[in-house]
Structure 1
Amino acid sequence: MRAADYGRLVLLAAIWGASFIFMRVAAPAFGAIWTAELRVLLGGVALLAWFRFTGFDPQLRRHARAYLMVGSVNIALPFVLYAYAALHAPASLLAIINATSPMFGLVWGALFRDERVTVRKVAGLALGAAGVALVAQPDAHAGGPQFTWAVAAALAACCAYGLAGVVIKRVAQGVPSKGMAAGNQLAAALVLLPFLPLVPPAAAPSWLVLGNVLALALLASGVAFVLYFRLIADIGATRALTV
């Protein structure tokens, strides 16, 4: 890895670490699905506008299948799950759970024979799982069933992130990384759109809530996914998941 790759990883980790705080503020007002929808729709539209301004063509029609598949697994599903988890679990714990994504990536990679399994990797997987269980256990007794479901949702989101690495390798060859950043989010917005009438927002949003939604969209989705898909193109999905 080059110095620029490490720099992108650190910046991406900082942005996505803060995103759990943004979700913790936005999700109680908008609910899980609306929070995810606003995040990807605004983030995708903002990137599309920027690409139009800079003259970059994401080729939405040509790569529609790749955008739809990756957007569903890598964005729509995990964003809804994390937005739900943010209703009942602290942002600090969600950030820790997110570190299990590479573990799920290893499991999925082994199942699809994309990843070579070694004793060292299995040991790391076991230690990581034990660490998450150790951190979550004290809060589980105090938080009750809702907390347990929140942790399960966050782990399911990480599982989806791990699977996304396999999907990207199979359907996104030749798709530009910047195009992935915008196209996947717009595809995820389309996937989530039919579910919006089923779960209207719980309350009228305050300016603080709206500010956090914008931060989610522009920073945690817009800027972050440009960095993330550039990392996948440069260092591979498994290493990029270590963020």
Structure 2
Amino acid sequence: MSGTASPQAARDWATPLELLGLGMVWGASFLFMRIAVPEFGAYALVEVRLALGALVLMPFLWRARAQFPAWRWRWLAPIGLINSALPFVLFAWAAERAPAAIGAICNAMTVLFAALVGFLFFGERIGPRRALALLIGFSGVVVLATAKVSGLAIGPAVVAGTVAALLYGVGANLVRRHMGGLPPAAAAAATLGCATLWMLPLAWSHWPRQPPSASSWASAIALGVLCTGLAFLVFYRLIGRVGPSRAATVTYLIPLFGALFAWAALGEPVTVQMLVAGGLILGSVAVSQR
């Protein structure tokens, strides 16, 4: 018997570790937004995030540039707006007004919204199990929207996070139909680059008058390089190895780490209503993906 682990065994160990790491990184993204957005503002912070994420992935786009003729960009540009620019702004806006865990919990609705959009607009079957999952998930959103944290209503932030998850669901369907056959990392670079251009006028007009602090800049850079560029690379590698359904299980981990990091770093509370809402939403995703 050889003492060397087989390539298959190595991949089996790598997958849960990469899922765990990705859940931690994307959970931390809500903490980084919470730290940086008060000084940057939503538009400037998202511009920094998009630009840095696009720069990390740009070598992949350059390598595959022959696969991106001019006609491809008529879909890449709107996908960049729907799947990156707008939801990033909504989550950043929510982070100004509510604890980091709120956005992380709302983000879990993405899987359900992708199924709903596919059913309503693209003729996909949804089935009774996913229909039930949608009802459970939306009940969780209602519970979350009516909650109060430290005496403050968080309903507007919940609405913003839910709309962001809906846009992710729309974007997932558009990506599936109009970016098939493209190298994923290169396609991500293209859409992030387009999103950067979409956001540029707003970021320019809303750039902070006072220079952001070092901690805000560090959070913004981590948000762009780690939570956007490098995280996309890991996620697309996971999709290629285990398929989109198994890779989507990272959704379960994001609210957990989002709440944990915000509690540990900022002392943000986790209320009973937040736990109930998170349980309903994550339970609905589990029912949907079973």
Q: TM-score range by the shorter chain?
A: 0.7 to 0.9
2:56 aligns to what SS in structure 1?
A: helix
Does the aligned pair in 1 maintain the 2:144–2:155 contact within 8 Å?
no
Aligned match for 2:78, one of 60, 69, 72: 69
Greater Cα shift, 76-85 or 202-211 = 202-211
Matched, 1:216 2:216: no
Displacement of 1:18 in angstroms is 0.6
Greater Cα shift, 99-108 or 124-133 = 124-133
Aligned to 2:103: 94
Matched, 1:35 2:45: yes
Does the aligned pair in 2 maintain the 1:19–1:216 contact within 8 Å?
yes
Structure 1, residues 166-206: CA drift from partner, whole Å, max 9, x if none? 10122101110110222211111011112223323263211
Does the aligned pair in 1 maintain the 2:39–2:212 contact within 8 Å?
yes
Aligned to 1:129: 138
Matched, 1:113 2:122: yes
Aligned match for 1:46, one of 36, 56, 66: 56
RMSD: 2.6
Counterpart of 1:130 in structure 2: which amino acid? S
Does the aligned pair in 1 maintain the 2:80–2:194 contact within 8 Å?
yes
* Structure 1: unaligned runs, 5 residues or longer: none
1:157-236 alignment runs, 5 A limit = 157-201=164-208, 203-232=210-239, 235-236=243-244
Does the aligned pair in 2 maintain the 1:47–1:222 contact within 8 Å?
yes
Counterpart of 1:156 in structure 2: which amino acid? V
Counterpart of 2:45 in structure 1: which amino acid? T
Distance 1:182 1:241, change over 3 A: farther
Displacement of 1:76 in angstroms is 0.6
Distance 1:13 1:115, change over 3 A: farther
Distance 1:134 1:9, change over 3 A: same
Does the aligned pair in 2 maintain the 1:104–1:162 contact within 8 Å?
yes
Of structures 1 and 2, the larger Rg is shown by 2
Does the aligned pair in 1 maintain the 2:147–2:155 contact within 8 Å?
no
Distance 1:232 1:187, change over 3 A: farther
Matched, 1:149 2:156: yes
Structure 2 CA distance for aligned equivalents of residues 7 and 178 of structure 1: 20
Displacement of 1:241 in angstroms is 7.6
1:200 aligns to what SS in structure 2?
A: coil
Q: TM-score normalised to the size of structure 1?
A: 0.86
Structure 1 CA distance for aligned equivalents of residues 67 and 97 of structure 2: 36
Matched, 1:82 2:114: no
Does the aligned pair in 2 maintain the 1:31–1:202 contact within 8 Å?
no
Structure 2 CA distance for aligned equivalents of residues 72 and 237 of structure 1: 24
Does the aligned pair in 2 maintain the 1:180–1:229 contact within 8 Å?
no
Taking only the aligned residue pairs, the percentage that are identical comes to 35
Q: TM-score normalised to the size of structure 2?
A: 0.73
Structure 1 CA distance for aligned equivalents of residues 172 and 158 of structure 2: 22
* Structure 2: unaligned runs, 5 residues or longer: 1-10, 252-290
Structure 1, residues 73-119: CA drift from partner, whole Å, max 9, x if none? 11011001111110001001211111111111111011123532111
Distance 1:143 1:58, change over 3 A: farther
Structure 2 CA distance for aligned equivalents of residues 172 and 233 of structure 1: 15
Matched, 1:19 2:29: yes
Distance 1:139 1:82, change over 3 A: same
Aligned to 1:56: 63
Greater Cα shift, 30-39 or 119-128 = 119-128
Does the aligned pair in 1 maintain the 2:110–2:166 contact within 8 Å?
yes
What number of residue pairs does the alignment pair up? 237
Structure 2 CA distance for aligned equivalents of residues 232 and 160 of structure 1: 20
Matched, 1:9 2:16: no
1:122 aligns to what SS in structure 2?
A: helix
